[in-house]
Amino acid sequence: MDGGGQIRHPFAEPPAEGAAIEVAEGVLWLRLPLPMKLDHVNAYALDEGDGWTVVDTGFDTRRSRAIWEAALAGPLAGRPVRRVVATHHHPDHIGLAGWFQARGAELVTTRTSWLTARMLTLDEQDRPVPETVAFWRAAGMSPDILAQRMAERPFNFADVVHPLPLGYTRVAEGGRIDFGGRRWQVRCGDGHAPEHATFWSLEDDVVLGGDQLLPGISANLGVYATEPMADPVAEWIASCRRFMEIAEDRHLVLPGHKLPFTGLPFRLVQMVENHLSALDRLRAFLAEPRTAAECFAPLFQRGIGPGEYGLALVEAVAHLNHLLSRGEIARTRRDDGAWAWRAA
């Protein structure tokens, strides 16, 4: 691991809608809007000569499709998208992959990403399923929020992810793939999303980081009803430590959100220390029994609004699960169905 000690942003401003900025030879940076507090996702188009490889896509919305149409007619010079690389299965990254596939593009991603995304697009729900409601109760969700959510249509992948047809090209940890005039080494991480692919150029300093390698913000580490005893915090920390072995200060990281950056070794140390510090604060807070929903203050050290509540709740459960797996805390079931967590 190279030293460093500072994060730098070579490009101070993001591209406008439908525009692009060349961040490396033959690599264009685009940005798509998101209807949430984190209001954007980055996409990258890599020149293939007769077409483009696109890395991540944004949501499948009318606005996102219009932005892509403008980009295709403008900075992409009317040449087709031949390939879509999805770093992971989250809808802001794979949402328009099927739309591009319908136009003839190949989809490249990891097996877990493809299977998870396709499963979730086919699992459409009008109301939360009983398992999800039980998970929310166990996390200590307040009765008024719980009642509201039980009466509403939940977020569905199908709402913002274009249907994914059968067929994709798999990449996996340690593999190599050629696109955009470069040969890339595939390195996968976990915690934010299972088998999240990052791509490390063997020709120059470019790294396609997705949400595994972000500057300035922390990727959400969440536990859900699908795997309520998961420990994504341990997976995330282990992944960061594996990336430390190959990260160098020279690497230009093209992340899924925020600005491209250098200083990856320093950033990886930050990402681990941020969670270790949060765990220290959580241990101290659990001198008295608390539900997951009561643990926001020590974990996040800021107010959590309604739009962030769901992500905060699943991340609180993740940190509690991590301490439980290490034998540092215990939990007991309350009469209302919520787990009360306390230092062991």
d(CA 309, CA 207): 32
- Mean pLDDT calculated for residue range 238-257: 98
Kindly report whether the global pTM for this prediction surpasses the value 0.85: yes
pLDDT of residue 36: 87
Residue 3: pLDDT band (50, 70, 90) is very low
> Which among 258, 228, 230 has a CA at the least distance from the CA of 31?
258
pLDDT of residue 265: 98
pLDDT of residue 37: 86
pLDDT of residue 1: 38
d(CA 245, CA 22): 28
Domains and CATH numbers, the chain: 21-343 (3.60.15.10)
pLDDT of residue 307: 86
- Mean pLDDT calculated for residue range 189-201: 98
Helix (H) or strand (E) holding 313: helix 309-325
CB 247 within 8 A of CB 1: yes
Query: Tell me: the pLDDT tens digits for 19-71?
Result: 999 999 999 999 999 998 899 999 999 999 999 999 999 999 999 999 999 99
- C-alpha angle 105/110/115, rounded to 5°? 90
Query: Tell me: the pLDDT tens digits for 124-170?
Result: 999 999 999 999 999 999 999 999 999 999 999 999 999 999 999 99
- Mean pLDDT calculated for residue range 72-92: 98
Query: Tell me: the pLDDT tens digits for 284-326?
Result: 999 999 999 999 999 999 889 888 999 999 999 999 999 999 9
- Mean pLDDT calculated for residue range 271-287: 98
Rounded to 10 degrees, the C-alpha dihedral 88/92/96/101 comes to 0
Residue 2: pLDDT band (50, 70, 90) is very low
Q: Which residues contact 156 (CB under 8 A, 6 or more apart)?
A: 123, 124, 125
Q: What is the mean pLDDT of the chain?
A: 96
Query: Tell me: the pLDDT tens digits for 84-110?
Result: 999 999 999 999 999 999 999 999 999
Q: What is the DSSP letter of 201?
A: E
